[in-house]
């Protein structure tokens, strides 16, 4: 469950980094925005929880994507995607988005009803049916992303831009639009992940911090910019997190995991699964 949602969030970050070479610190804020918007949708759309959930699943990623595209055009493009400047700018964006959520959504954690509520009761513990649905949903979205990248013209253009921005431009590709699209898609993926997870957790304006850090970890372990590596790493980390914390005190486990990730980046900057730097 954790792994599936993590994969979704992290693939957004990975996509943006892979194609645009931009480290998006505001990625967690886009995630948060998705969850907060899902709450608004659940308040405003009448009818059963399933309907408002379906609406949220469509509307939230679109709105978040639009905000991301706007941020890309207004800010990132003008910075020429210089890595250090964009990091600073996305930190600024993170603050602005969090403040916006605080001002318009408020400081409380708010729950969003789940569209399904059946539980699977095993003899020793129970498991929520909705969580299984989330796993399936996340897998479907990831499959769709993969299909878009590999088998559509848009995907081809994205990959071309990734390999060589200038050549792509010479071939008449509107690189600016591709970048805005990719940035929007990355943010949209985070938003979808958030809409899926918000019935299990709740919407809160500071909720983006942890997904951001975990996504970073996943993307690094998987190799910066490698979508396949990201998926494998998300599974690995989502599953192993529980294992590590049974051996050590939980906080100690977090410390060790964080240091380990830093060391991976130091000694294998291409990630555990990435190819050697080209």
Partner 1 sequence: MKADRALVLHLALLAALLAAHVLAPAYHHTNLARIMVLSVYAMGYNIAFGYTGLLSLGHALLFAAGLYGAGMGVTYLGLTAGPGLILGTLAGGLMALAVGLLALRTAGVAFMIVTLMFAQAGYLTILYFGQWTRGDEGIVVQKAGRMLGPLDLSDDGTRYLMALAIFAAGLLINLALVRSPRGRIMIAMRENEDRSRMLGYNPFTIKLTALVISGLYAGVGGAAYGLMFGYVGASLASVQYSILPLLYVLLGGAGTVMGPFLGALLMFYLIDYASSVTDAHQFVTGAALVLLVLFAPKGILGTLRDRGLRWLP
Partner 2 sequence: MTRKLITTTPTRRSVLKGLALGTGALAATSALPRFVQAQSSEPIRVGFQLHRTGIGASYGRWYERTASAALKVINDAGGINGRPVEIVFEDDGTDPKRGAEVVEKLTAQSNCDLVMGTLFSHVVIGSAPRAGELKVPYLVCSEGHHVASGMLNRWTMQPGITDVKSQVQGMAPFVTSNLGKKITMIFPDFAFGHDHRDYFTAAVAAQGGEVIKHIAIPPTETSFTRYFPQIPSDTDVIYHVMVGPAVLTFVKELGEFYGSGARPQLFGFIDSLEAVDINSPGLEFLDGSHFWEGHPRYKQEDASEHETFYRAAVGVDDTGASVSDPADVSTYAHMFSTWETLFVVKDAMEAAGYQGPADRQKVVEAIEAMTGFDEGQAHPQGPKTFNGKTHQAFGLQSITKVEGGRLVRVHQTSMEDGFYPDEVDYTTMSF
Q: State the residues that interact with partner 1 by CB under 8 A.
A: 23, 75, 78-79, 83-85, 87-89, 91-100, 102-103, 213, 216, 220, 224, 249, 251-252, 254-255, 258-259, 261-263, 265-267, 269
Q: Residue 109 interacts with partner 2 (CB under 8 A)?
A: yes
Checking 154-157 for CB contacts under 8 A at 24+ apart, the result is 154/181
End-to-end, the C-alpha distance of the chain in Å comes to 34
The helices-and-strands tally (H runs, E runs) of the chain is 11, 2
Cβ closest to partner 2, residue 15 vs residue 203:
203
Cβ closest to partner 2, residue 139 vs residue 206:
206
Q: Residue 234 interacts with partner 2 (CB under 8 A)?
A: no
Q: Which residues are within 8 A (CB) of 104 and not within 5 positions of it... i.e. 6 or more apart?
A: none
Burial class for 138, CB neighbours closer than 10 Å (0-12, 13-18, 19+): buried
- CB atoms under 10 Å from CB of 239, counted, come to 11
- Quote the strand ranges of 92-153, DSSP E: 119-121, 126-128
Residue from 128, 146, 175, 236 that binds partner 2 (CB under 8 A)? 128
Residue from 75, 169, 202, 261 that binds partner 2 (CB under 8 A)? 202
Q: Which stretch binds partner 2 (CB under 8 A): 67-75, 121-129, 164-172, 260-268?
A: 121-129
Residue from 47, 84, 108, 170 that binds partner 2 (CB under 8 A)? 108
Out of partner 1, partner 2, none, what residue 204 binds, judged by CB under 5 to 8 A for its kind, is partner 2
Report the alpha-carbon distance of residue 202 to residue 244 in Å, rounded: 26
Report the alpha-carbon distance of residue 158 to residue 140 in Å, rounded: 21
Residue from 47, 84, 125, 166 that binds partner 2 (CB under 8 A)? 125
Looking only at the bridges linking them, the beta strands covering 119-121 and 126-128 are: antiparallel
Residue from 151, 176, 210, 262 that binds partner 2 (CB under 8 A)? 210
Residues that bind partner 2 in the complex, under the rule CB under 8 A:
2, 99, 102, 106-109, 111, 113-114, 119, 121, 125-128, 131, 199-202, 204, 206-207, 209-211, 213, 241-242, 245-246, 249-251, 253-254
């Amino acid at each position: 469950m954790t792994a599936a949602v993590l994969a979704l969030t992290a693939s957004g970050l990975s996509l943006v980094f892979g194609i645009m070479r931009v480290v998006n610190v505001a990625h967690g804020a886009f995630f948060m925005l998705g969850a907060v918007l899902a709450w608004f949708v659940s308040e405003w759309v009448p009818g059963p929880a399933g309907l408002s959930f379906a609406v949220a699943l469509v509307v939230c990623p679109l709105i978040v994507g639009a905000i991301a595209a706007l941020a890309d055009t207004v800010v990132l493009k003008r910075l020429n995607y210089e890595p250090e400047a964009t990091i600073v700018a996305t930190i600024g964006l993170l603050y602005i988005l969090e403040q916006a959520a605080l001002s318009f959504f408020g400081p409380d954690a708010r729950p969003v009803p789940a569209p399904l509520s059946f539980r699977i009761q095993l003899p020793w513990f129970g498991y929520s049916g909705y969580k299984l649905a989330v796993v399936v949903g996340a897998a479907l979205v990831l499959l769709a992303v993969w299909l878009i990248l590999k088998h559509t013209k848009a995907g081809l253009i994205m990959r071309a831009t990734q390999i060589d921005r200038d050549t792509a431009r010479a071939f008449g590709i509107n690189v600016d639009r591709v970048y805005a699209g990719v940035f929007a898609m990355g943010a949209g993926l985070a938003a979808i992940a958030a809409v899926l997870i918000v019935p299990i957790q709740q919407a809160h304006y500071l909720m983006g911090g942890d997904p951001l850090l975990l996504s970073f970890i996943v993307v690094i372990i998987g190799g910066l910019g490698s979508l396949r590596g990201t998926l494998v790493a998300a599974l690995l980390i989502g599953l192993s997190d529980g294992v590590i914390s049974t051996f050590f005190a939980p906080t100690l486990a977090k410390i060790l995991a964080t240091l380990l990730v830093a060391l991976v980046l130091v000694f294998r900057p291409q990630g555990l699964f990435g190819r050697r730097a080209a």
